[in-house]
Chains A and B, each alone.
Chain A
């Protein structure tokens, strides 16, 4: 999420109303007011609306929403006469370039900060951490056009931002903090992207770092914007959002020629939508003209185009409008979620529990009847608990997560008993007897199913207790079973048995082996059992959707 700092004075001047009116309503366009400070507010906006990542963008939206100025904002663009060439060798490296000239800026510390933070938010939301889009902002008057976007040898040196001595690009990736942060984006390429001017001065090594030469300061009057990346649409969006924000701040925008094409145009995109479809989606009853004004309130251009149709002009900064329904959401926001009639659907339906959960509920009921207390352990655990401490060999269907957060959470559980023993360890200081159970999901390869397990610990916990409890659960679930001597090393030889259903192993019960008790730091004997609930009649084949 992007948290945008909104200085009141600047925001009030741009929005042409007071801070209270703005802050009272800003959540209604889709945001969370995080902090209200003396001189500014921090407001969080959603990642689909990068056009709101600056005070200028927020003011533009709020002028519409508060009906101070509605409809499509216009951004005239005239040619700058400046041009770029793009090196064909960049095709497999970082092929897309966008650029613009922004004239007549008047920076102070606050507005420089604002444009820098817009740049950073765009890197995050649109640029995917600069891999898809990276933005460079330069003092145009420090360099001389035309410019060239080239694939350069990695040994080329220049003075990067915040340094005084030249460094090769190879060195920048190792020594410069930004170089280290973003090296992984370019490291595999034989040549590196570089933007130079007519005199071969370096403007930028995208997506890593600008040159010190074009640093933007309070004295900067004219800006050259470069935007490079791998995706045409994303690069264009970033250019449009920065240019229109700067235009809102009072600058004029000029296009540049990139390989002969003038860009940006900052022109809206046209869409024709149906009022009926909008009404059907939202459950409202809007007329053509009311929908026109709602869209205008959201800064779209809109005009009727027939009985049911509207011609909508989508401003160039609205990257999120991919589909007609995206416009309908804006209509709903302008209309107000609180004004939409909220009635549940009329169709009659009957609730239906899933059989697997019905079985689970019965198992829980039986355990409770036997005096067992339910616990709900995590499903992520580790091999040490599941297998080593249990003296068991690894389950063939165990799944390992590729990047665990800690050594305690490396696998998804294949059994429940070890986790119950862990619980007994945690509760050693609590009064005995302790009888604990859990009913929950385990995995076997990519399949999930329910198992049920119980443990009982006290001075007299033994095989007979385990057998009796397991039998009760099995009986109540109508599971017909037989038993045979087990070889499970987690249990004591001669005090362990496998539960067989239709000849297949479906569970285990017995007395936990003293070596396992030692491993779990337990001092009292433990009677334990675990049942695979796939053996409940009628539950085969309905275990999961996967």
Chain B
């Protein structure tokens, strides 16, 4: 009896926000964005394109501002500038002797700065704060549609080209040697990366979207050394963080994007410490217990991941 009384207010606290339609909607949208980001995240982390993701996310700002000013869908402006930045990066890199990280740094800050100048000059109802940090609780019907379209295209492209893209990440030389067009794959991966960022813009904002593009894949990478499993761990951790983060951000009245990334990062820390094979604890344990006696032949397998 007593227990029920104690339990009831908690239950009430738990379900009370779920009667608000805007919150349910926000949870669905962020779960979808979490799914899209998680899938792409596996490819981006394996390819080593985290910095490229960061660059694209910053470079979309002028596109968003111009799109609002011209009254066209924000997704089109954002994609154009995000993808344009990657083309600019590729061009500058091939025409100069600069290293890639320098080129990326120059191009994306240039785009971002242009965005800042535009947003303060062009009269529009763009809230810079919302671009930077996302605003999924206040997302409009139109923005949801754009998010769904951008995300769905990404998922379909990856579903159809997943093996080629994985081969491209793993061994582009072999891809070329068997006659696949690596240039096409390069731009395919860049386009879906830009599309994913467009989809995640409203949820996480451009500052935090990089976390959603890097952390889930990294969690999967630490937990498994099979791509399929990695993908699942990535999706579960990402969707869970998005749903829980959106829900809790309402409760505690805190930034939604911030809450999502805090949870995601917490999951990462747990994986980093406790992963069965590549976790810090497991590595410590292996070091102490010496070489693995199960290993057939004497060619000892060293799994000293750095």
Q: Do A and B make up one complex?
A: no
Q: Which residues of B contact A (CB under 8 A)?
A: none
